[in-house]
């Protein structure tokens, strides 16, 4: 999908406010079927699940019979749902947010707090560390490590013709920022805190604000600093 297609999809989608209502009261199953939401329970305890509007409409009509209640609202006027993460053969930790339209390869690791937007492609055995933000349509190659707090820009607003593209075996340090349209060459290293505003060649280390090439990866003396641990994948 290009950015115009995604923007149209979001703009034209039916906005929903996912909600759960926990209630205790004098109800029977026949009190619910004509409404467009799911309901579970028996006796005096019930859970209503669906869009906020029909649940709230039912609630207002029947409030006099409710003894106690509790609302849980998941979002407000959300344009697109989150992805069904059970379809990915990857390790996705609690608190990660993965939007619909994302592709995640086998053996990937998505850590707590990561946010992955629509249209992102992450290839096999890549780790997305804590609190990483990956914007719409970005591409991340195989066996990469995207460090904690890094930001990989999306391409919806401001619009850009090309998504960020990160090659295989790339290491991106903590809190680095990669701007729209940038390509990171295979096997390169982006230092922690760097701001990358232009393409990075294959097999180099970049650092600074804005990021500049400081050496070749082959010149790194302590190679343990760029090692990918297989035992963390899968």
**What is the homologous superfamily of the domain 17-73 according to CATH?**
Malonyl-CoA ACP transacylase, ACP-binding (3.30.70.250)
Task: Look at residue 229 in the predicted model and tell me its pLDDT.
Answer: 78
- Per-residue pLDDT tens digits for 51-90: 999 999 999 999 999 999 999 999 999 988 899 999 999 9
Closest CA to 41 of 58, 65, 25, 60: 25
Task: Tell me the average pLDDT of the chain.
Answer: 92
CB atoms within 10 A of CB 128: 33
Token pair recorded at residue 204: 């180099």
Q: What is the pTM of this model?
A: 0.86
d(CA 32, CA 113): 37
Q: What's the pLDDT score for residue 234?
A: 59
The token duo for 164 is 């960020």
> pLDDT: is 227 or 32 the higher one?
32
* Lookup: tokens for 152: 């990989």
CA 133 to chain centre: 7
Q: Are 217 and 204 in contact (CB under 8 A)?
A: yes
Distances (CA, A) of 84 to 66, 90, 103, 185, 234: 34, 12, 11, 31, 19
Mean pLDDT across 39-60: 94
What band does 4 get if pLDDT is binned at 50, 70 and 90? confident
Residue among 148, 153, 147 nearest 165 (CA): 153
Q: State CA 11 to chain mean position distance.
A: 19
CATH homologous superfamily of 85-217 equals: Hexapeptide repeat proteins (2.160.10.10)
Give the pLDDT confidence of 106-135 residue by residue, as tens digits.
Answer: 999 999 999 999 999 999 999 999 999 999
**pLDDT tens digit sequence for 214-227:** 999 998 877 777 77
Domain ranges of the chain: 17-73, 85-217
Beta-bridge partner residues of 178: 152, 196
> 83: which residues sit within 8 A by CB, 6+ positions away?
98, 99, 100, 101, 102
The per-residue pLDDT for range 163-212, each reduced to its tens digit, is 999 999 999 999 999 999 999 999 999 999 999 999 999 999 999 999 99
Q: Could you check whether the bond before residue 210 is cis, i.e. omega within 30 degrees of 0? A: yes
């Amino acid at each position: 999908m290009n950015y115009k297609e995604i923007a149209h999809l979001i703009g034209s989608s039916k906005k929903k406010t996912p909600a759960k209502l926990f209630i205790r009261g004098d109800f029977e199953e026949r009190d619910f079927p004509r409404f467009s939401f799911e309901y579970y329970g028996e006796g005096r305890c019930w859970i209503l699940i669906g869009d906020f509007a029909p649940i709230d409409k039912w609630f207002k009509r029947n409030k006099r019979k409710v003894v106690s209640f509790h609302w849980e609202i998941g979002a407000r006027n959300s344009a697109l749902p989150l992805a069904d993460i059970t379809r990915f053969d990857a390790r996705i930790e609690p608190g990660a947010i993965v939007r619909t339209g994302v592709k995640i390869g086998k053996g990937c690791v998505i850590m707590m707090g990561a946010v992955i937007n629509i249209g992102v492609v992450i290839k096999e055995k890549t780790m997305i560390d804590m609190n990483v933000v990956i914007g719409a349509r970005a591409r991340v190659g195989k066996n990469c490590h995207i460090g904690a707090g890094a930001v990989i820009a999306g391409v919806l607003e401001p619009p850009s013709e090309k998504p960020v593209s990160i090659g295989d075996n790339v290491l991106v340090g903590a809190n680095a920022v990669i701007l729209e349209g940038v390509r990171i060459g295979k096997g390169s290293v982006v230092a922690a805190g760097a701001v990358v505003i232009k393409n990075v060649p294959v097999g180099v280390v970049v650092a600074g604000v804005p990021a500049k090439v400081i050496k070749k990866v082959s010149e790194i003396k302590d190679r343990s600093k760029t090692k990918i641990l297989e035992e963390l994948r899968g």
